[in-house]
Amino acid sequence: MKIEPDLVEYFRTMLKGDYAENDRLEAQLNTKGWGDFSTLMGIVFYYAVNHRLSEVASEADIVQFVAELRAAAPVDPREIDANAAERLVKAALDPDVESDFDPEMAGKIQSLTIMHVLGEGRASSDDIDAILASAVDTASRL
């Protein structure tokens, strides 16, 4: 699968805080179409979770991470299903975990997690670039 460069730049500008350019790209994507955005978001989510936690993260680590995510979210924490978020994070760390999720809730959890881990200066520019490059590489093998 080939990921369009505009999708990658959309993530890059959002994560690096270039909101004017991000708004421009969003308007462009609204016209052109979002293509494989959900696939790219799922892959970036995987890399973000693995950037923050390791595959040996304990249940307590995951619960704490989700609690932090919900507390920091720019939406009412009740809008984020804690159990679904914990399962989705576990699925990113362990491919054997059941990963059948409500697509709308999964998208919300993925986007909030990506911003919580990589956005607002929490990850270096080099880390963001490396994660996005890895995500594009992974998508190219799908």
pLDDT tens string for the chain (142 positions)? 899 999 999 999 999 999 999 999 999 999 999 999 999 999 999 999 999 998 779 999 999 999 999 999 888 888 899 999 999 999 999 988 887 888 999 999 999 999 999 998 899 999 999 999 999 999 999 9
CB distance 54 to 63 below 8 Å: no
* Predicted model pTM: 0.93
Tokens representing 6 are 């505009």
Buried-state track 31-68, b at ≥16 Cβ within 10 A, e below 16: eeeeebbebbbbbbbbbbbbbbbeeebeeeebeebbee
